[in-house]
Amino acid sequence: MPSNVEIKARVSDPVLLAQRVAELSQSEGTIIRQRDTFFNCSQGRLKLRDFMNGSGQLIFYKRPDSDGPKLSQYSISPTSDPPSLQVVLADALGVKGQVQKVRQLFLIGQTRVHLDTVEGLGHYMELEVVMRPEQSVEEGQQIAVNLMQQLGVSEENLVTGAYMDLILKGPAPAVPL
């Protein structure tokens, strides 16, 4: 199963962070609109990501609910008909909830940097260090920590869980970078 090391953090100044990320990645990033529907699942998380352009992905992933860099294992299957797949999965499993976001995606080395504006939550950043088969979890965690430091992301801003979990809990105030 593919894996990555990831962190998620609240962002109080998305413009400043976008400037820092653009400088490090030497790009302006790619804008992606997404609607994730989470389904009830006995282990891990199962979501259908609809890119709202006729394409999507069914994603299953497992990761601990802790702040800081953590290992996430995932499986992804593309779909060309997210709406009908959503109906089938909703009928079979039940819907836990939905997350709508606009994501700006940057690549820095082997790390995917997501600057997300999440409906009902605000601004967040995710780092996903895409692990190579020969790399240890510790190497991935060190890459994430180093990039956090370069971007000025403090540990107080780190959050646990998925956006869906945060939505179910209710919004939390942003903490300065």
Task: Determine the Cα–Cα distance for residues 125 and 140; give it in Å rounded to an integer.
Answer: 17
Q: What is the pLDDT of residue 176?
A: 56
pLDDT at 101: 98
- E strands, the chain, where? 3-10, 30-39, 45-50, 56-62, 70-79, 95-108, 111-118, 122-130
Cα 155 from Cα 124, distance rounded (Å):
14
Q: State residue 20's pLDDT score.
A: 97
Over the stretch 96-136, which tens digit does the pLDDT of each residue have? 999 999 999 999 999 999 999 999 999 999 999 999 999 99
Cα 42 from Cα 44, distance rounded (Å)? 7
Say which residue the tokens 């997210």 belong to.
82
pLDDT at 88: 98
For residue 2, give every residue at least 6 positions away whose Cβ sits within 8 Å of its Cβ, in sequence order, or none. 73, 74, 75, 76, 130, 131
Residue-wise pLDDT for 133-173, tens only, equals: 999 999 999 999 999 999 999 999 999 989 999 999 875 55
What mean pLDDT comes out for the span 81-92? 98
Residue 174 predicted with pLDDT over 60: no
Please say if the pLDDT value at position 51 is more than 70: yes
How do residues 53-67 score in pLDDT, each as one tens digit?
A: 999 999 999 998 888
Domains of the chain: 3-169 (2.40.320.10)
- Tokens coding 145: 């920590």
Query: What integer pLDDT is reported at residue 84 of this predicted model?
Result: 97
Q: Which pLDDT score, from 0 to 100, does residue 64 have? A: 86
